[in-house]
Amino acid sequence: MASLATKMILPSENGYRAWEDQTLFKWRKRDPHVTLRCHESIEGSLRYWYQRNNVDLTVSKSAVWNDDAVQASLDSAAFWVDGLPFVKSLSGYWKFFLAPSPANVPEKFYDAAFPDSDWKALPVPSNWQCNGFDRPIYTNIVYPFPNDPPRVPEDNPTGCYRTYFQIPKEWKDRRILLHFEAVDSAFFAWVNGSPVGYSQDSRLPAEFEISDYCYPWDSGKQNVLAVQVFRWSDGSYLEDQDHWWLSGLHRDVLLLAKPKVFIADYFFKSKLADDFSYADILVEVKIDNMLESSKDLLLSNFIIEAAVFDTTSWYKSGGFSDELSPKVANLKLNLSPSPVLGFHGYLLEGKLDSPNLWSAEQPNVYILVVTLKDKSGKLLDSESSIVGIRQVSKAFKQLLVNGHPVMIKGVNRHEHHPRVGKTNIESCMVKDLIMMKEYNINAVRNSHYPQHPRWYELCDLFGMYMIDEANIETHGFDLSGHLKHPAKEPSWAAAMLDRVVGMVERDKNHACIISWSLGNEAGYGPNHSAMAGWIREKDPSRLVHYEGGGSRTDSTDIVCPMYMRIWDIVKIALDKNESRPLILCEYSHAMGNSNGNIDEYWEAINNTFGLQGGFIWDWVDQGLLKLGSDGIKRWAYGGDFGDQPNDLNFCLNGLMWPDRTPHPALHEVKHCYQPIKVSLTDGTIRVANAYFFNTTKELEFSWTVHGDGVELGSGTLSIPVIKPQNSFEMEWKSGPWFSFWNDSKAGELFLTITAKLSNPTRSLEAGHVLSSTQIPLPSKREIIPQAIKKTDPIITSETVGDFIKISEQDSWELMINVQKGAIEGWKVQGVLLMNEAILPCFWRAPTDNDKGGGDSSYFSRWKAAQLDNVEFNVESCSVKSTTDKSVEIEFIYLGSSPSKSDALFKVNVTFIIYGSGDIITNWYVVPNSDLPPLPRVGVEFHIEKTLDRVEWYGRGPFECYPDRKSAAHVGIYEQNVADMHVPYIVPGECGGRTDVRWVTFTNKEGVGIYASTYGSSSPMQMNASYYTTGELDRATHEEDLVKGQSIEVHLDHKHMGIGGDDSWTPCVHDKYLIPPEPYSFSLRLCPITAASSVLDMYKDQLPS
pLDDT given for residue 313 in this prediction: 85
Q: Does a cis peptide bond (omega within 30 degrees of 0) precede residue 618?
A: yes
Residue 789 lies in a domain: no
Q: What is the pLDDT of residues 131-173, one digit of tens each?
A: 999 999 999 999 999 999 999 999 999 999 999 999 999 999 9
* Cβ-Cβ contacts under 8 Å for 791 (sequence gap 6 or more): none
Question: Regarding predicted confidence, which is higher, 306 or 901?
Answer: 306
The letter for the amino acid at 609 is F
- For residues 962-1000, b (16+ Cβ closer than 10 Å) or e, as one string? bbbbbbbbbbbbebebeebbbebbbbbbbbbbbbbbbbb
Residue 130 lies in a domain: yes
Task: State the DSSP string of 882-931.
Answer: E-SSEEEEEEEEEEE-TT-SS-SEEEEEEEEEETTS-EEEEEEEEE-TTS
pLDDT given for residue 784 in this prediction: 60
pLDDT given for residue 335 in this prediction: 84
Q: Using the predicted structure, report yes or no on whether residue 787 has a pLDDT greater than 80.
A: no
pLDDT given for residue 1102 in this prediction: 40
Picking from 238, 252, 267, 327, the residue whose alpha carbon sits closest to that of residue 31 is 267
Q: Using the predicted structure, report yes or no on whether residue 64 has a pLDDT greater than 80.
A: yes
Q: Are residues 367 and 414 in the same domain?
A: no
Confirm if 325 and 48 have CB atoms less than 8 A apart: no
Give the confidence band of 1011 by pLDDT, cuts at 50, 70, 90. Answer: very high
Q: Using the predicted structure, report yes or no on whether residue 653 has a pLDDT greater than 90.
A: yes
Give CA separation, 352 vs 271, 332, 512, in Å: 10, 13, 19
* pLDDT more than 90, % of the chain: 84
Give the confidence band of 276 by pLDDT, cuts at 50, 70, 90. Answer: very high
Picking from 210, 202, 182, 200, the residue whose alpha carbon sits closest to that of residue 124 is 182
Q: Using the predicted structure, report yes or no on whether residue 819 has a pLDDT greater than 50.
A: yes
Residue 315 sits in a domain of what CATH number? 2.60.40.10
Q: Are β-strands 812-817 and 822-828 bridged in parallel, bridged antiparallel, or unpaired? A: antiparallel
Euclidean distance between CA atoms 89 and 97, whole angstroms: 22
Strand order in the sheet with 327-334: 261-272, 278-289, 346-353, 327-334, 302-310, 366-374, 379-387
pLDDT given for residue 960 in this prediction: 98
Q: Are residues 353 and 398 in the same domain?
A: no
Q: Are residues 833 and 878 in the same domain?
A: yes
Q: Which of 324-333, 602-611, 817-826 has the lowest mean pLDDT?
A: 817-826
pLDDT given for residue 1101 in this prediction: 43
Euclidean distance between CA atoms 651 and 170, whole angstroms: 48
Picking from 627, 725, 632, the residue whose alpha carbon sits closest to that of residue 675 is 725
pLDDT given for residue 340 in this prediction: 65
Confirm if 33 and 264 have CB atoms less than 8 A apart: yes
Q: What is the pLDDT of residues 973-984, one digit of tens each?
A: 999 999 999 999
Q: Are residues 1004 and 868 in the same domain?
A: yes
Q: What is the pLDDT of residues 75-132, one digit of tens each?
A: 999 999 999 999 999 999 999 999 999 999 999 999 999 999 999 999 999 999 999 9
Euclidean distance between CA atoms 331 and 169, whole angstroms: 34
Four-point Cα dihedral 269, 274, 276, 280, nearest 10? -30
Residue 828 lies in a domain: yes
What average pLDDT does the segment 608-635 reach?
96
Q: Are residues 279 and 425 in the same domain?
A: no
Confirm if 1059 and 1067 have CB atoms less than 8 A apart: yes
Number of domains, the chain: 5
Q: How many residues does this entry show for the chain?
A: 1104
Residue 555 sits in a domain of what CATH number? 3.20.20.80
pLDDT given for residue 322 in this prediction: 74
pLDDT given for residue 509 in this prediction: 98
Q: Are residues 988 and 861 in the same domain?
A: yes
* pLDDT more than 70, % of the chain: 97
pLDDT given for residue 2 in this prediction: 57
Residue 785 lies in a domain: no
Residue 732 lies in a domain: yes
Euclidean distance between CA atoms 603 and 966, whole angstroms: 11
Residue 939 sits in a domain of what CATH number? 2.70.98.10
Q: Are residues 621 and 694 in the same domain?
A: no
Q: Which of 586, 808, 836, 1031 is catalytic?
A: 586
The sign of the torsion formed by the CA atoms of 14, 16, 19, 20 equals: positive
- Give the long-range contacts of residues 676-681, CB within 8 A, separation 24 or more: 676/755, 676/770, 676/771, 676/773, 677/606, 677/771, 677/773, 678/753, 678/771, 678/773, 678/775, 679/773, 679/775, 680/732, 680/751, 680/775, 680/776, 680/777
Picking from 121, 126, 124, 35, the residue whose alpha carbon sits closest to that of residue 81 is 35
Mutual angle of helices 426-438 and 453-462, in 10-degree steps: 40
Q: Are residues 821 and 739 in the same domain?
A: no
Q: Are residues 610 and 652 in the same domain?
A: yes
Give CA separation, 724 vs 402, 690, 694, 934, in Å: 13, 7, 6, 46
Residue 212 lies in a domain: yes
Residue 31 sits in a domain of what CATH number? 2.60.120.260
Q: Are residues 254 and 267 in the same domain?
A: no
Q: What is the pLDDT of residues 200-254, one digit of tens each?
A: 999 999 999 999 999 998 888 999 999 999 999 999 999 999 999 999 999 999 9
pLDDT given for residue 791 in this prediction: 54
Q: What is the pLDDT of residues 522-559, one digit of tens each?
A: 999 999 999 999 999 999 999 999 999 988 999 999 99
Euclidean distance between CA atoms 306 and 384, whole angstroms: 9
Q: According to the 3-state scheme, what is the secondary structure of 471-519?
A: CCECHHHHHCCCCCCHHHCHHHHHHHHHHHHHHHHHHCCCCCEEEEECC
Q: Does a cis peptide bond (omega within 30 degrees of 0) precede residue 645?
A: yes
Phi, psi of 66 (to 5 degrees): -115, -155
Euclidean distance between CA atoms 736 and 55, whole angstroms: 41
Give CA separation, 259 vs 33, 256, 262, 288, 370, in Å: 17, 10, 6, 10, 15
Give me the half-sphere count of Cα atoms (radius 13 Å) on the Cβ side of residue 997. 21
Neighbours of 154 (CB within 10 A): 10
Give CA separation, 324 vs 43, 56, 279, in Å: 11, 19, 22
* Cβ-Cβ contacts under 8 Å for 809 (sequence gap 6 or more): 793
Q: Residue 998 is part of which domain span?
A: 796-1099
Q: Which of 334, 367, 387 is the last residue of a domain?
A: 387
Q: What is the pLDDT of residues 845-861, one digit of tens each?
A: 999 999 999 999 999 99
pLDDT given for residue 391 in this prediction: 98
Q: Which of 652, 671, 690 is the last residue of a domain?
A: 671
Q: Are residues 663 and 682 in the same domain?
A: no
What average pLDDT does the segment 314-332 reach?
84
Residue 900 lies in a domain: yes
Q: Which of 671, 694, 712 is the last residue of a domain?
A: 671
Q: Using the predicted structure, report yes or no on whether residue 259 has a pLDDT greater than 70.
A: yes
What average pLDDT does the segment 1004-1032 reach?
96
Q: What is the pLDDT of residues 485-530, one digit of tens each?
A: 999 999 999 999 999 999 999 999 999 999 999 999 999 999 999 9
Task: State the DSSP string of 609-647.
Answer: TTEEEEEES-SS---EEEE-TTS-EEEE-TTTT--SS--
- For residues 406-420, b (16+ Cβ closer than 10 Å) or e, as one string? bbbbbbbbbbbbbbb
Q: Are residues 1010 and 1048 in the same domain?
A: yes
Q: Which of 521, 547, 748, 944 is catalytic?
A: 521
Residue 336 lies in a domain: yes
Give CA separation, 714 vs 701, 723, 735, in Å: 11, 25, 11
521 is catalytic: yes
Confirm if 579 and 396 have CB atoms less than 8 A apart: yes
836 is catalytic: no
Confirm if 1009 and 995 have CB atoms less than 8 A apart: no
